A and B are shown apart, each in its own frame.
Chain A
Amino acid sequence: MAIFAEDVTIDYPIYGGSHRSLRQTLFARTGGLIRQERTGRQQRTIVRALDRVSFTLQNGDRLGLIGHNGAGKSTLLKVLAGVYQPDSGAMRIEGRVSPLFNSAPGLDPDDNGYENITTCGMFLGMSRQEIKRKLPDIIAFCELGEYLDLPVRTYSNGMVARLAFAIATSIDPDILLLDEGLGGGDAAFAERAEARMKALLQRTRILVLASHSDALIKTMCNRAMLLEKGKLIAIGPVDEILNRYHHRLAHAQVA
């Protein structure tokens, strides 16, 4: 399993953005570089969300993405997930990628728990057999019992989170992408969730996690990448990169 990113660049065309709000964002400190582009009579606003980002990840790499809001962390995750294709540069990925951004894709409140396990499982890339095999484990972990026969809209928020978490963490990913940690449920559940998360990470060959939490990055990652306005500033050991990030933050505040 490996990821090779070479000069990956992503331009976001902005549709329906007003010019007034643009003027404000032009002077913002966060976010990628915004530019206006004219094609014929049309004026388009384009945000460079990622600017020539290159890196390589191998088996065993657990990369934490660090940076401001809008630095490009989520965009990079989406490129890795294949949601966005780079405008220039190349992204080569060997292995099965499992993005867990929204922990239960395709979850429908009108369907019951069992139906949702199947639908979400399919969208997470599981075959019917795989889902059938994992069903007892998912049922046991979410502890929803007979509620699984009821429509998900009758669940409390915590119960939905449990179900979503149980489904999402049942996958066997080569490459796992996380946007902040997966959470939900009460204190007792949180403990079991942590153990289950650990087991999932053990099955994972490569992890890429975007987070604003130093603690989360420190516990889950062995490498870190600092992004700023879509540019890769540094990649290296977690502590070193976090220090750099906080140093830059302090510096920017003084200036």
Chain B
Amino acid sequence: MKPDYAMARADIIHGILAFRIWTRLGWQEVKRRYRRTVFGPFWATLSIAMFIGGMVFIWAPLFKADVSSYLPWLSAGLVVWSFATTMITEGCGTYTAAVGLITQLNFPYTVLNFMVVWRNIIVFLHNVLIVVVVVIALHVPVSWETLLLIPGMMIVAVNGVWMTVLFGMASARFRDIPPLVGNLIQVLMFVTPIFWLATQLGGESQPIVRYNFMYHLVQVMRAPMLGTAPSQLTYAITLAGAVIGWLVTFDIYARFRRRIAFWL
């Protein structure tokens, strides 16, 4: 199909400019999901916290790690992992969940992608409380490097947007994609150093760590939370991922955006 780059560019620009809509929709969705509950959005936080609390006593000895160093690693890793992967799995449903809108109205579809990412940033800001508690309780050093969390989050979010566009389109066309992505993410969770320490397998020189995009995506936010700076390799890979991911997605979006309404 012939690409229409002007249309794709206009969609993205108008999507960004419609921030009043997607910030509102993101908030509404968070509010909606947890209405009539006592803990609200903190349920997600609580479930991660309970998981960490239960598992740390099994895994710390299993990986022969000291709880005071393993606990911050595990909690920061899991919180970021859940941020990145929820964005991807929810991204698969970006367009299919919006049938009503897409088949009735002409609007920049990227509004929906920004909404998904924004909503997940809000949820992350709840979950990050776990890490704050752990950091304070265990006296994890807080340094200037901690501030790198902010650019780190922006890098993950920028990657998140192209992923939700790409996976959202693929899922609208091929309905096998969402379960496939769900399965892959589960496998990746064990392959990626979240539960185990990267240093145990030789750190970033080990191919399974070095070439694991998900590891770097987690690390760009996890390292600052533990008071250290991510490696140059991590920045190189996550930024390259953002650029290449966007270039590829932009081209595919320019080709197939007009088909999305038919796929639904």
Q: Which residues of A contact B259 (CB under 8 A)?
A: 13
B100 at interface, CB cutoff 8 A: yes
A78 at interface, CB cutoff 8 A: yes
Interface 0/1 of A112-148, CB less than 8 Å to B? 0001001100110000100000000000000000000
**A83/B32 contact (C-beta < 8 A), A122-B20, A122-B24, A128-B20 known:** no
A13 & B105 in contact (Cβ 8 Å cutoff): no
A81 to chain B, nearest CB (A): 6
Q: Which residues of B contact A85 (CB under 8 A)?
A: 258
C-alpha spacing A12/B262, complex, angstroms = 7
B106 & A81 in contact (Cβ 8 Å cutoff): yes
B5 at interface, CB cutoff 8 A: no
**A15/B103 contact (C-beta < 8 A), A108-B32, A110-B35, A115-B28 known:** no
Instruction: Give the contacting residue for A83; candidates B20, B25, B102; CB below 8 A.
Output: B102
Q: Which residues of B contact A101 (CB under 8 A)?
A: 104
B28 & A105 in contact (Cβ 8 Å cutoff): no
A105 & B262 in contact (Cβ 8 Å cutoff): no
A99 at interface, CB cutoff 8 A: yes
Nearest opposing residue in chain A for B107, CB measure: A123
Q: Which B residues, 72 to 122, have Cβ-Cβ distances below 8 Å to chain A? A: 100-107
Q: Which residues of B contact A12 (CB under 8 A)?
A: 262
Interface 0/1 of B1-42, CB less than 8 Å to A? 000000000000000000011001100100010010000000
C-alpha spacing A12/B261, complex, angstroms = 10
Q: Which residues of A contact B107 (CB under 8 A)?
A: 123
Q: Which residues of B contact A83 (CB under 8 A)?
A: 102-106, 261
C-alpha spacing A101/B32, complex, angstroms = 26
Interface 0/1 of B238-264, CB less than 8 Å to A? 000000000000000000001101110
B104 & A105 in contact (Cβ 8 Å cutoff): yes
Q: Which of A13, A78, A119, A123 gathers most chain B CB within 10 Å?
A: A123
A78 & B24 in contact (Cβ 8 Å cutoff): no
C-alpha spacing A51/B150, complex, angstroms = 53
C-alpha spacing A78/B103, complex, angstroms = 8
C-alpha spacing A12/B264, complex, angstroms = 12
C-alpha spacing A123/B100, complex, angstroms = 11
C-alpha spacing A123/B101, complex, angstroms = 8
Q: Which residues of A contact B104 (CB under 8 A)?
A: 81, 83, 99, 101-102, 105
Q: Give the B interface residue count (CB, 8 A).
A: 21
Nearest opposing residue in chain B for A115, CB measure: B28
**A119/B106 contact (C-beta < 8 A), A85-B258, A105-B100 known:** no
C-alpha spacing A67/B104, complex, angstroms = 21
**A111/B106 contact (C-beta < 8 A), A84-B262, A106-B101 known:** no
B100 to chain A, nearest CB (A): 6
C-alpha spacing A110/B29, complex, angstroms = 10
Nearest opposing residue in chain B for A12, CB measure: B262
Q: Which residues of B contact A128 (CB under 8 A)?
A: 20
B262 & A13 in contact (Cβ 8 Å cutoff): yes
C-alpha spacing A99/B100, complex, angstroms = 13
Q: Which residues of A contact B105 (CB under 8 A)?
A: 81, 83, 99, 105, 123
C-alpha spacing A78/B263, complex, angstroms = 15
C-alpha spacing A13/B263, complex, angstroms = 8
Instruction: Give the contacting residue for A84; candidates B21, B32, B261; CB below 8 A.
Output: B261
A97 at interface, CB cutoff 8 A: yes
Q: Which residues of B contact A105 (CB under 8 A)?
A: 100-101, 104-105
A95 at interface, CB cutoff 8 A: no
Which residues on A are within 8 Å of B, measured CB to CB?
A: 12-13, 15, 78, 81-85, 97, 99, 101-102, 105-106, 108, 110-111, 115, 118-119, 122-123, 128
14 A–B contact pairs at CB < 8 A?
A78-B103, A81-B106, A83-B106, A84-B258, A99-B106, A105-B100, A105-B101, A110-B35, A115-B28, A118-B24, A119-B24, A119-B25, A122-B21, A123-B21
Please provide the 10 A-B residue pairs with the shortest distance between their CB atoms, ordered closest to farther. Answer: A82-B106, A85-B258, A110-B32, A101-B104, A122-B21, A102-B104, A83-B261, A105-B104, A105-B101, A105-B105
